[in-house]
Amino acid sequence: MAFLEVSDLKAFYGQTEALHGLDFSLEEGSITAILGANGAGKTTTLRAICQMVKTEGTVRFDGNDLTQMATERVVRLGIGHVPEGRGTFVRQTVEENLQLGAYTRSKKAEILEDIERVYEYFPRLRERSSQQAGTLSGGEQQMLAIGRALMLRPRLMLLDEPSFGLAPLIVQEIYQIMRRIREQEGTSMLLVEQNANIALSLADHAYLLETGDVVMSGKSQTIRDDENVRRSYLGY
């Protein structure tokens, strides 16, 4: 059985059906990308996995059925969510944000160890540890959002548009660090991106969404080589 298995997933905002029966899976230790234009249902897919919207269908994580589970219980099973817009606590310092990320945990020594580990991945955050998060650049706030999710010691990270609004050099830096996190921690990742080029450079497998339906899936290289994808999403 796959680490994450999604079957016939539908999601609703009020009476409006936003996802129309998605099927996809993710293997443990892998990185999977969900690609698509604005409004394709990418963010809704991540929210549906976390049970933050009304859903039908089945979502199984490491054998656990997440359907109708409280979002906090989903988090405690080891799913970390890095939302679109970063969601940092702007009036708290960088270090306070990281401590808040460990809210499900109680062993202080381990929490301090993990803050140090986040600083090793993101040295800029160490330099700014006592700054208010709201004073950070967009790239630094994205680093903080990923670092805060790491404080949960997640087995699966859901990343929503981590490149959005950032300069290309910063995007490359963040993606290199995400690659290191996968290699060193073995953390699985489900990555939602409009920036198909950068996502396909990191992911093992990709799904292409259009208006709430999967229209293509395969290994990243196969998706990258598809002429329609190149023309519509990669710009060449």
Cβ–Cβ < 8 Å for 58, 9: yes
| Maximal CA-CA distance, the chain | 52
- pLDDT tens for the chain, residues 1 to 236: 799 999 999 999 999 999 999 999 999 999 999 999 888 999 999 999 999 999 999 999 999 999 989 999 999 999 999 998 777 899 999 999 999 999 878 889 999 999 999 999 999 999 999 999 999 999 999 999 999 999 999 999 999 999 999 999 999 999 999 999 999 999 999 999 988 999 999 999 999 999 999 999 999 999 988 888 888 777 65
H/E stretch holding 65 reads strand 64-65
CATH of domain 4-88+157-234: 3.40.50.300
pLDDT of res. 194: 87
pLDDT of res. 140: 96
pLDDT of res. 236: 59
pLDDT of res. 103: 85
Closest CA to 48 of 57, 38, 39, 40: 57
Q: Give the start-to-end residue ranges of the domains of the chain.
A: 4-88+157-234
Contacts with 109 (C-beta within 8 Å, 6 or more apart), sequence order: none
Residue 180 backbone zone (phi > 0: left; psi -120 to 50: alpha; other: beta): alpha
Burial class of 116 by CB neighbour count within 10 A (0 to 12, 13 to 18, 19+): exposed
Cβ–Cβ < 8 Å for 46, 207: no
Token pair for residue 3? 């680490």
pLDDT of res. 235: 67
Phi, psi of 210 (to 5 degrees): -135, 120
pLDDT of res. 52: 95
